[in-house]
């Protein structure tokens, strides 16, 4: 029976019985076996790891135990991304021959920069086209962290430094994925409702140019455009290849017809990014 090459323990993970109400209320029967689930990452070199153990020892290209390369030769010449093909057996069942490189990259990055968790979630929602989740996320940014967490415990310490503001989340560019913005992600995946929401919340695209429905939906979701002067316009963001969201739209074809060349997805030609009259903000206060 294989064991984890890192900690030498069986390739399972024990599930804590639900002990959420620990108010002296022992309704877990004594002597009950802890429940276990498979937790086995089977690398191409033959070694097995727990997911957490692999993440801990993780280096991108080699097995932490035997030092052999675990990077698969990419089948498509266009992709430069490393692939790490494994057989993964966990609570989701056995998945054979899957590429875990993207998840490993994501998780190890979040270990180093936990304060970017919301930003990462934001990009994911943009790719998936979940504009409602984006609205909820944006609204949650302004909240004080004195609220109860899911377990009803008051969170007392901020994990991993200051949390990001809504403006920062909206303008996040993916440092482990080509510096794509949320707008790039939405456009690449054909999500117009997300694109509209991002334009509303993070650009100076003229308010008169939005369909009424966009305002209606934003109102339902409880979000609205804030003062944009002096802030980065999401349309001006470029990915690592120097592409604006409009460039991505151009490549995506017919779905973005009517959006390309209209200044909706890129800064209008010659328009200043900010008009430099940031002093206006103070005179408008109150
Ligand atoms: Zn282990
Ligand atoms: Zn190995």
Per-residue pLDDT tens listing for the chain (286 residues):
799 999 999 999 988 766 554 444 445 555 666 788 999 999 999 999 999 999 887 677 899 999 999 988 766 555 567 889 999 999 999 999 999 988 888 888 888 888 999 999 999 999 999 999 999 999 998 665 544 455 544 444 444 456 789 999 999 999 988 999 999 999 999 999 999 999 999 999 999 999 999 999 999 999 999 999 999 999 999 999 999 999 999 998 888 999 998 889 998 865 544 444 433 333 333 3
Is residue 124 domain-shared with residue 211, that is, in the same domain?
yes
Between CA 76 and CA 82, with CA 77 as vertex, the angle to 5 degrees is 75
Look at residue 18 in the predicted model and tell me its pLDDT: 60
Please report which ligand is nearest the Cα atom of 59: 2
Is residue 12 situated within a structural domain? Answer: no
Is residue 7 situated within a structural domain? Answer: no
Structural domain including 252 reads 115-145+161-269
Is residue 138 situated within a structural domain? Answer: yes
Is residue 63 domain-shared with residue 171, that is, in the same domain?
no
Its pTM stands at: 0.73
Is residue 99 domain-shared with residue 224, that is, in the same domain?
no
Is residue 283 situated within a structural domain? Answer: no
Q: How many domains does the chain have?
A: 2
Please report which ligand is nearest the Cα atom of 5: 1
Is residue 168 domain-shared with residue 250, that is, in the same domain?
yes
Q: How far apart are CA 242 and CA 171, in angstroms?
A: 16
Counting Cα atoms < 13 Å in the Cβ hemisphere of 116 gives: 17
Is residue 127 domain-shared with residue 254, that is, in the same domain?
yes
Is residue 64 domain-shared with residue 174, that is, in the same domain?
no
Look at residue 278 in the predicted model and tell me its pLDDT: 39
The DSSP code sequence of 88-156 is: EEETTEEEEEEE-HHHHHHHHHHHH-GGGHHHHHHHHHHHHT-HHHHHHHHHHHTS-TTSB-TTSPBP-
CA of 86 to the centre of ligand 1 (A): 16
Is residue 103 domain-shared with residue 58, that is, in the same domain?
yes
Is residue 139 situated within a structural domain? Answer: yes
Is residue 236 situated within a structural domain? Answer: yes
CA of 13 to the centre of ligand 1 (A): 9
CA of 45 to the centre of ligand 2 (A): 5
Look at residue 29 in the predicted model and tell me its pLDDT: 56
Is residue 127 domain-shared with residue 105, that is, in the same domain?
no
């Amino acid at each position: 029976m294989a064991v984890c090459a890192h900690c030498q323990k069986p390739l399972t993970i024990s599930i804590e019985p639900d002990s959420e109400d620990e108010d002296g209320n022992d309704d877990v029967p004594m002597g009950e076996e802890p429940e276990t689930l498979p937790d086995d990452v089977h690398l191409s070199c033959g070694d097995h790891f727990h997911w957490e153990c692999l993440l801990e020892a993780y280096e991108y290209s080699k097995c932490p135990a035997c030092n052999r390369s675990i990077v698969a030769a990419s089948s498509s010449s266009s992709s430069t991304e490393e692939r790490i093909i494994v057989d993964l057996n966990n609570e989701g069942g056995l998945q054979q021959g899957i590429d875990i490189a993207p998840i490993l990259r994501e998780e190890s990055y979040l270990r180093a920069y936990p304060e970017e968790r919301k930003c990462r979630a934001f990009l994911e929602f943009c790719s998936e086209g979940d504009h409602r989740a984006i609205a909820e996320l944006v609204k949650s940014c302004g909240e004080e962290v004195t609220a109860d967490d899911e377990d009803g415990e008051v969170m007392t310490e901020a994990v991993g430094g200051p949390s990001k503001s809504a403006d920062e989340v909206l303008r996040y560019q993916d440092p482990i994925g080509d510096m794509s913005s949320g707008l790039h992600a939405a456009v690449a995946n054909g999500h117009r409702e997300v694109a509209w929401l991002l334009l509303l919340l993070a650009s100076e695209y003229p308010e008169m140019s939005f369909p009424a429905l966009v305002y209606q939906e934003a109102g339902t979701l409880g979000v609205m455009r804030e003062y944009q002067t002096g802030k980065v316009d999401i349309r001006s963001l470029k990915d690592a290849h120097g592409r604006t969201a409009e460039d991505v739209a151009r490549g995506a074809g017919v779905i973005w017809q009517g959006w390309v060349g209209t200044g909706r997805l890129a800064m209008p030609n010659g328009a200043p990014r900010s008009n430099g009259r940031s002093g206006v903000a103070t005179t408008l206060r109150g």
